[in-house]
Amino acid sequence: MDYYLKTPTHDLYTMPSPRLFHKHVPYRVLPDSIKNLDNCKIIYITRNPKDTLISMWHFYNYNCKRLEDLSPLEEVVEYFCKGLHPYGPFLEHVLEYWEESKKKPQKILFLKYEDLKIDPKKEVAKIALFLGKPFGNEEDLEIVLNKCSLERLKNLEVNKSGSIVSYIHNSAFFRKGVVGDWKNHMTPEMEEQLDKITKLKLQGSGLEL
């Protein structure tokens, strides 16, 4: 944590081991060193496409609220379905990590946000085991769950007033954290459009979102 307090950039060569960092990049553009080293593990968390889109829409509009280029939801849905996204097509992004996680289960842990909400104890214990650091007792697990709760993180002073860069406030990363919020924003037509493309893209993969 001290490393990130000193610099917002990631210089992996100077970070002490074990290193922990997050990215949004597609699997195919990861360096071979990350893909092939046995002691480098990947935890991938995905989410229902409709909730993902709403979360992204709120995030971008939150950071552009002083500007005049707020994106209407209808337009964002169109772009999303066409695969126009800063990190590439969302469903292809998810499928790449899903397929690789099946080939290399010891290397890549594939998680769903919904499962983390339904049974956080089970999923966090799964993460600890995957990292080779299983919990010794229930109390330690409860401590981690408490420290990682959305409400606690949301109310930390650094997340209420700090920022990564001048135009991205830390508070933008913490909203509702609920499952199914898309129902409060999308029309039946939008829902149908997203469900159709999701079903088409995931067909035959064994993955359900």
Dihedral-angle region of residue 57 (phi above 0 means left; psi in -120 to 50 means alpha; beta otherwise)? alpha
Which pLDDT score is estimated for 20? 81
- Kindly list the catalytic residues: 24
Helices (H), the chain: 2-6, 32-36, 49-63, 73-81, 90-103, 113-118, 120-130, 138-147, 150-155, 157-161, 188-202
Q: Tell me how far apart the alpha carbons of residues 162 and 115 are, in angstroms, rounded to a whole number.
A: 30
Q: Which residues are within 8 A (CB) of 152 and not within 5 positions of it... i.e. 6 or more apart?
A: 146
Low-confidence ranges of the chain (pLDDT < 70): 1-12, 62-70, 155-156, 158-160, 162-174
Q: Which residues are within 8 A (CB) of 126 and not within 5 positions of it... i.e. 6 or more apart?
A: 109, 111
Instruction: State the pTM of this model.
Output: 0.80
Tokens 């401590």 sit on residue: 143
Which pLDDT score is estimated for 87? 73
- Tokens encoding 68: 């005049």
Which pLDDT score is estimated for 55? 83
- The identity of residue 32, as a single letter, is D
pLDDT digits (tens, 9 = 90+) for 54-82: 888 877 776 665 545 667 888 889 888 88
Q: Tell me how far apart the alpha carbons of residues 88 and 56 are, in angstroms, rounded to a whole number.
A: 14
CATH superfamily of 2-202: P-loop containing nucleotide triphosphate hydrolases (3.40.50.300)
